[in-house]
Amino acid sequence: MHDLIHTLAAGNPIAENWLGSTFHDVSRYVIFAVGVWLTLWVVLQRPLAGRKIRADNPPARQMIVEFLVSIRSVAIFSTIGLATFLLDRAGWLPGPKLAASWGPAWFWGSLVLMIIAHDAYFYWAHRLLHRPQLFRAFHRRHHRSMNPTPFTAYSFDLGEAAVMASFVPAWMILVPTQWEVTGLFMLHQIVRNTMGHAGYELMPATKDGRPLFDWLTTTTHHDLHHAQAGWNYGLYFTFWDRLMGTEHPEYHARFAQAVRKPLRAPVRAPAKAAAALLVGALLLGGAATDARAEATQSIAGDWATRGFGSLVRFSACQGAPDTLCGRIIWLWEIADERARPRNDRRNPDPALRNRSLVGVEIIRGMRETSPGVWTGGSLYNPDDGRTYTGEIRLRNGALVLKGCALNIVCQTQTWRKPDDILNAVRGLQQ
């Protein structure tokens, strides 16, 4: 293959470097994208059916387009990568030789640092590309794959491909790193990238239904980003999303669903310590328990949403009696403008789009964190199919609900007891 590349380049070292880089990148992409697809979607399709995240499969046309666009992205990677080749050729890139003199400890240390730095670069660049001013020109192509596949890995707009390709040259200029480390980094990157779009959840789960290595992103983690783009921007690790409040509030529940395990609260204390705490709670904490139950009970029951569009019934969440959930029990309009039953048709999960809105749980996992304030849960909006971080406050007999996206853009609504509304109407009639 080297001889063929040399012949095609006609002795031009720049062309030879570009062709060689393109060949290696395309080879990595084809091996892992096709390999993951064949393994999971064809050979192991039946044995892994229980680990498939979405019930439906994307059309073949989507995968063909993703493959062709990814090849274009690789060409852009190689073009931008010429910067390091030209600097090295001119003697202006001393980093690789310097790194080689620092021994094997730096070899592996620089690889770890490169992966950590790339995750940070990706997170912040990714969030930037989701800004309305940039999304359409830079990132829309990737999100056309609502149901991603392994071929989605490099399916980028031209601008996004350039942004993603810029990390390696910048790193090589700033941090002494051997070329072999860069090769291992690229191998790690394409493996994690294709697996992040694989459509099957292969991460082992703990007994409580959480990822065994919860500091690593999973296929479910990134699949949620394609389903609801305002969440889960991380590439390799989860800590940036958690630090910045951009991890989807239902991530662990969706992961547990994908691995077919019930989600339970994690046990954080050893068995003996937990037993001691339990005894202490029984002896000394009765009053606090009663207070929590009373607070939960204080908003349990039915509440009318804004405009009396629906009634939502609050009660303790199933399996978590110290948290609150809210479920739609009645709709003012039982049909939409086309006389169709009002179903959950904007749900990101196609399997749920035909279910009636009556019975849908739209408030989940709210925990009282201070008197009259419930946080830590999520609010699902059937109007747009998105899930938001939530807060509920009890004020003057009314509920003030606040839902936020990215902890930046927030909206509030006030809900009231149906009897309070009816009494107010009767008062106007007197």
**Alpha-carbon span 196 to 188, nearest angstrom:** 12
Q: 268 or 327: which carries more pLDDT confidence?
A: 327
Q: Give the range among 228-242, 368-382, 401-415 with minimum mean pLDDT.
A: 401-415
DSSP state of 415: E
CA nearest to 316, candidates 329, 308, 325: 325
3-state secondary structure of 221: helix
Q: Is residue 323 part of a domain?
A: yes
Asked if 316 and 322 touch (Cβ cutoff 8 Å), the reply is: yes
Query: What residues have CB less than 8 Å from 407, skipping those under 6 apart?
Result: 244, 245, 246, 389
Residue type, 44: L
Taking residue 20's Cβ as centre, other Cβ atoms within 10 Å add up to 17
Domain of 24 in residue numbering reads as: 2-200
Q: Which residue has the higher pLDDT, 294 or 143?
A: 143
Range of 61-75, 366-380, 387-401 with top mean pLDDT: 61-75
User: In terms of domains, do 276 and 379 share one?
Assistant: no
pLDDT at 264 over 70: no
Does 224 map to a domain? no
Boundary of a domain, candidates 200, 234, 260: 200
- Which range, of 63-72, 104-113, 316-325, averages the lowest pLDDT? 316-325
Is the model's pTM score more than 0.85?
Answer: no
Whether residue 320 sits in one domain with residue 287 = no
Lowest mean pLDDT among 68-72, 214-218, 395-399: 395-399
Residue 93: pLDDT band by 50, 70, 90 thresholds?
very high
Question: Is 397 among the domain residues?
Answer: yes
If asked whether residues 18 and 115 sit together in one domain, one would say yes
| Residue 340: C-alpha distances to residues 164, 260, 311, 409 (Å) | 44, 33, 20, 32
418 pLDDT higher than 80: yes
Where would I find the H helices in 56-100? 60-89, 95-100
Q: Please report whether residue 226 resides in a domain.
A: no
And the tokens for 99? 């790194």
Same domain, 398 and 304: yes
Q: Last residue of some domain: 200, 226, 242? A: 200
Does pLDDT of 203 surpass 70? yes
Taking residues 311-329, what's their average pLDDT?
86
Residues 43 and 127 in one domain: yes
Is 363 found in the same domain as 283? no
In this structure, the answer to whether residues 281 and 357 fall within a common structural domain is: no
CATH code: domain of residue 375: 2.40.128.520
Boundary of a domain, candidates 200, 220, 251: 200
Rounded to whole angstroms, how far apart are CA atoms 79 and 102?
Answer: 30
Q: Is residue 194 part of a domain?
A: yes
If asked whether residues 174 and 48 sit together in one domain, one would say yes
User: Do 290 and 323 lie in a common domain?
Assistant: no
pLDDT top residue among 88 and 38:
38
In a shared domain, residues 19 and 126: yes
Mean pLDDT of the chain: 85
- For the chain, the domain total comes to 3
What does the alpha-carbon distance between residue 372 and residue 369 come to, in Å, rounded to a whole number? Answer: 8
Residue 85 falls inside a structural domain = yes
CB 227 within 8 A of CB 197: no
Instruction: Please tell me the least confidently modeled range out of 7-11, 25-29, 162-166, 313-317.
Output: 7-11
Q: Calculate mean pLDDT across residues 223-241.
A: 92
Domain co-membership, 280 together with 339 = no
CA–CA dist 379, 424 (Å, integer) = 28
Classify residue 118 as left (phi > 0), alpha (psi -120 to 50) or beta.
alpha
Residues 316, 171, single domain; the answer is no
On whether residue 232 sits in a domain, the answer given is no
Residue 233 lies in a domain: no
- Cβ(87)–Cβ(53) under 8 Å? no
